[in-house]
Structures are given as structure tokens and as C-alpha cells.
Chains A and B, each alone.
Chain A
Amino acid sequence: MPLLSRIFLRLALLHLVTGTVLGAWLLGAKGGWPPAPPAWFRSAHVELLLLGWIVNLIMGTAYWILPRHATGPARGRAGPVVIALLAFNAGVAVTAAGWAPAGGRTLEVAGAAAFALHAWSRVRPSFRP
């Protein structure tokens, strides 16, 4: 498993745990314990789980297992994937924290686009040397 996949997957697990802590708090509070959390917990819970957990997991796994190139770097240039990793996760963090939702969403789109740019040429029949 390449380094970038390991980073994506570990970030996915961190988002999963953080999002679940917020969700467990929200659910428990409906039953009276713990006390009701701030309103932003709900949107942060959704952001961390639907984007932080699932999309990081998909990107990390795709970078690992999509068909590799026959020539040049086996998984292609790492640059767009590094940009995807940094921009997407910064976007999720900014949006979940409620600091600048439009800026956070823009970073998420930039990250997704960078990953699409990378993955586009790897979505093809497998190369067998």
C-alpha cells in the first residue's frame, strides 16, 4: 500500500472516529445524556462522516488499487494526489469547524478535481506485464 494511500486511509479513520464522537453525543443528548451540544455539531458530524470518512477512504483505496501505468511512474505523477489530499482534508476541516463554509467547499472541490485529474487515466482495463 503506497504512502499516499496510507495517509488517506488514516485520515479517513480519524474523521470516522471524530464524526462518530459528535454523532454519539448528538444521539445520547436526545435521551437526556450528555447535555445538548452546540448546533454546529450536527453539520460537523455530517461533514466528517459523509466526506471525511467515505471520500478519503475511496480516494486512498483507488490510488492503491486502480490499474497502474505500463510506462513511467506506476501510479502516475504524485503531484495532483498530494494536492487532493491537502486541499480536500483542509476543506473538510474548515467546513466542519464552520469557519468559512464557502472557502471550505472550494477547497473540497479543488481536492476532488485534482484527484479526478489523477484517476482519469487509471480508470481503464488492467495492464499485465
Chain B
Amino acid sequence: MPRLSRWLARTALLHLVAALALGILMPAGAARSPWIAGAWPVYIHLLVLGWVTQLIAAVALWMFPRPDRRLTTEGFPGWAFYGLLNAGLVLRAIAEPLPALNRLLPIAALMHLGAILALAAMLWPRIRGR
């Protein structure tokens, strides 16, 4: 398993734990914390982007056929995907529930978009016959 896939898979597990912990906090903590009260979209995106999509990326970058066996997944697009996805998720987790910080959300949106474009560009040529 390549190093990038290990980082992606372990970070995906952290997102899973964080999302489920947030799921415990949300019903009880909504009255006490404005951040928790507005955290529903963060909870969903930690699960769907941080856990599911990141784990899919980890396995696909490891297992999909490579045009050349000597090619690795450790280049700039792979680490750009990792950095943009996770930094974007952390930024939206901080800013999305708090209206005063919502002006940061366009940056998080562009980070998510950049991450997904990098992932698609890496996987597209690896969807092949051999």
C-alpha cells in the first residue's frame, strides 16, 4: 500500500470517528453551543467527503491499474488532493456553523473543488483495460 494511500485511509478513519462523535454531541449540545447547533452539514460532509470519498480515493489510488508499473501515486496531484480535501474540511467545519465566519466558506469551496479535480485527473487515466 503506497504511503499516500496509508495517509488517506488513516485520515478517513479520523473523519469517521470525528463525525460519529459530533453525531453524539449534536442532540444534547445544540442548546449550549451555536457551533454544535449549526453543525449538521459538517457532520454529513465529514462522513461523505472525509470518510467515504477519502477512503475510496485511498483504495482506488492503490488498486487501480497503472499505465506503467513504475509510476507511483506520490506526486504533486496526490498530495494536493490530500491537503486540499482535509484543509477544506477543517476550514468548513470551523466556519460553516458560525455565521460570523461564513465569509471563509468560498475558500473552503474552492479547496474541495480543487481536491476533487485533482482526484479525477489522477484516476481517469487509470480506468483502463490492463
Q: Which residues from chain A sit less than 8 Å from chain B, CB to CB? A: 1-3, 5-6, 9-10, 13, 16-17, 20-21, 23-25, 27-28, 30-34, 49-50, 53-54, 57
In the complex, the answer to whether B112 meets A24 with C-beta atoms within 8 Å is yes
CB A11 to nearest CB in B, in angstroms, measures 10
Cβ-neighbour of B106 out of A1, A31, A57 (below 8 A): A31
In the complex, the answer to whether A13 meets B109 with C-beta atoms within 8 Å is no
Interface size on B, residues (CB 8 A): 29
B20, CB-defined interface residue at 8 Å: no
Main secondary structure on chain B at its contact with chain A?
A: helix
For A13, list chain B residues within 8 Å (CB).
120, 123-124, 127
CB A16 to nearest CB in B, in angstroms, measures 6
Docked pose: A2 CA to B48 CA in angstroms:
27
In the complex, the answer to whether A21 meets B113 with C-beta atoms within 8 Å is yes
B83-101 CB contacts (< 8 Å) to partner A: 92, 95-96
Cβ-neighbour of B116 out of A5, A6, A16, A50 (below 8 A): A16
B6, CB-defined interface residue at 8 Å: no
